[in-house]
Structure 1
Amino acid sequence: MTEFLQNLLLGLLLGGVYALAAGGLTLIFGVMRVINIAHGAFLILAAFITYSLWDVLGIDPLLAIVITTPVVFVLGWVTYKVLVAPIRTAPMASTVLLTFGLALVIEGAMGEIWGNNSTAIRPSYADESFAFAGLYLPKAQLYGGLVAVLVLAVLWVILTKTWLGRAIRAAAINPSSAELVGIKVTAVAALVFALGIAAAGAGGAITGILYPFVPGSHYQWIARLLAIVVLGGMGSLNGAILGALLFGVAETMTSAYVSPSWATAVPYAIVFAVLLIRPQGLLGKRMREDAVMA
């Protein structure tokens, strides 16, 4: 029972980190109907920036989030203004191709700057654990999970308790009506895209401690994040959080009780099984194809 509880806690902590990154991806889709294939590339870019801050300046990687996140926010805003805004109303396939190409460009830039060798962020507490009531919780995962929850809480406050949050919800539900009451939907879209990328940036700073990474790691991450978002329901932040927690627990339990080699496959099998029963995801809503393409 103790082992099961420990694995459950580790899975939930991991799921919290996944939720942070996936939340940004589903937020962008929920407001803009844009599937950002470059989301994983921005996450890995944030991990490399965090690595440099830790390796060169000695800044703790979790504290470096206060630097990494604003930097990635600005990159997201510029990306939207320069690349995404001109084709935002184009068919969804256009933005998928655009962001996929952007992911390749970011991957190449990271390879030129940091090289293609495996990189890891190893702060002093990376190999330390807390012992409590027979449980052993790695400090890196515990700290990372708590920071992810904190950032998600800040994002939730922004979305539910501020004027910007109300504008975002209005733009997501009915852009035309939002324009009529004075909300500049184009400006809101730019902020949403930047916020979503910033969430990926914060997630990248944390995942850089938990996993080694190379520029090409973004393929694994975008596959994982898309699976989480689809599992939870496209456009649903609560769904992304639920899907991420389930995904993290499934990975951890599979690794502990089946085999680490199956830890990646089993969560995807769960996604497939859920979608066979509920195609719109756990908390998603059915949407007409013509509405998605609007």
Structure 2
Amino acid sequence: MTQLLQTIVLGLLLGGVYALAASGLSLIFGVMRVVNIAHGAFLVLSAFLTYWLWDAFGVDPLLGIVLATPMMFALGWLTYRLVISPVRSAPVASTVLLSFGIALVLEGVMGQIWGNNSSAIRPSYADESFAMGRIFFPKAQVYGGLIAVIVLVLLWAVLTRTWLGRAIRAAATNPSSAELVGVRVASVAALVFGIGIAAAGAAGSITGVLYPFIPGSHYQWIARLLAIVVFGGMGSINGAVLGGLLFGVAETMASAYWSPAWSTAVPYAIVFAVLVIRPQGLLGTRLREDAVATA
């Protein structure tokens, strides 16, 4: 029972980080219907920025989120304005290919600056744990999970308690009607893309402490994040959070009770099984075919 409880708690802490990263991807799709394949590359870029701040200036990596996240927001906003906006109305396949190209460019830039060797952020508490009776919790995962929860709560507050949040929901639900009531959908879309990349940036700072990374790590991350978003329901932030938590628990359970070699495969098997039964995901909505035909 002790091992089970510890495994579940660790899975939830890890799942919180997954949820944070996936929420940004889901937010971007929900508002703009853009599948951002470069999301994982932005996450890894934030990990490298956090590594640079820690290695060059001694900034604690988890405190480095305060610096890395605004930088990622600015980069996301600029990327949308310069690259994504001109092709936003193009077919989905075009935006997928474009974002994949952005991911390759970011991978090349990271390789030129930091090289292709594995990097890892190892703060002083990386090998320390909290103890509660016979249960031990690694400090890095606890701190990272708590920060992920805080950022998710802030994101929830922005989306549900501010004028920007109402504008985002209006733009996602009906862009034409939103324009009629004074919402500048193009400006909202740029802010949404920046917020989504900022969420990936915060998650990247945390994952840089939890996992080693190289520029090519973004392939693993985008596969994981797309699985979580599809599992929870495309465009649903609540679904992304739920999917991230379940994904994290499934990974830790598979590693603890089966084999670490299967810790990645088992969550994908669960995602596949769920989607066979519910193709729209856990909290997604099914799109009526007749509505698509008349749109």
- 1-structure distance, mates of 2:45, 2:260: 26
- 2-structure distance, mates of 1:109, 1:249: 34
Number of the residue aligned with 2:89: 89
Match of 2:45, as an amino acid?
L
- What's the offset of the Cα at 1:291? 5.0
Number of the residue aligned with 1:211: 211
- 2:158 maps to 1:154: no
Number of the residue aligned with 2:142: 142
- 2-structure distance, mates of 1:38, 1:104: 8
TM-score (structure 1 length as normaliser): 0.98
- 1-structure distance, mates of 2:229, 2:60: 30
TM-score (structure 2 length as normaliser): 0.98
Deviation sequence 1:22-73 (CA, Å, 0-9, x none): 0000000000000000000000000000000000000000100010000000
Deviation sequence 1:89-109 (CA, Å, 0-9, x none): 111000000000100000000
SS at match of 2:125: coil
- 2-structure distance, mates of 1:13, 1:159: 23
Count of residue correspondences = 294
SS at match of 2:208: helix
Number of the residue aligned with 1:46: 46
Matches within 5 A, 1:95-244: 95-244=95-244
- 2-structure distance, mates of 1:130, 1:288: 50
- What's the offset of the Cα at 1:133? 2.1
Deviation sequence 1:158-178 (CA, Å, 0-9, x none): 000000000000000000000
- 2-structure distance, mates of 1:287, 1:248: 28
Match of 1:247, as an amino acid?
F
Q: Which runs of 5+ in 1 are unaligned?
A: none
- What's the offset of the Cα at 1:287? 2.0
- 2-structure distance, mates of 1:223, 1:181: 38
Number of the residue aligned with 1:5: 5
Q: Which runs of 5+ in 2 are unaligned?
A: none
- 2-structure distance, mates of 1:78, 1:52: 22
SS at match of 1:55: helix
- % identity of equivalent residues: 74
- 2-structure distance, mates of 1:135, 1:160: 37
Deviating runs (4+, > 4 A) in structure 1?
A: 288-292
Match of 1:28, as an amino acid?
I
- 1-structure distance, mates of 2:227, 2:133: 35
Number of the residue aligned with 2:254: 254
Number of the residue aligned with 1:20: 20
Number of the residue aligned with 2:265: 265
- 1-structure distance, mates of 2:46, 2:230: 24
Number of the residue aligned with 1:70: 70
Match of 2:200, as an amino acid?
A
SS at match of 2:51: helix
RMSD of aligned C-alpha atoms?
1.3
- What's the offset of the Cα at 1:134? 1.3
SS at match of 2:136: strand
- 2-structure distance, mates of 1:66, 1:141: 18
- 2-structure distance, mates of 1:4, 1:197: 34
SS at match of 1:136: strand
- 1-structure distance, mates of 2:199, 2:236: 15
- What's the offset of the Cα at 1:288? 4.7
Match of 2:41, as an amino acid?
A
SS at match of 1:118: coil
- What's the offset of the Cα at 1:194? 0.4
Number of the residue aligned with 1:287: 287
- 2-structure distance, mates of 1:163, 1:23: 20
Number of the residue aligned with 1:37: 37
Match of 1:167, as an amino acid?
A
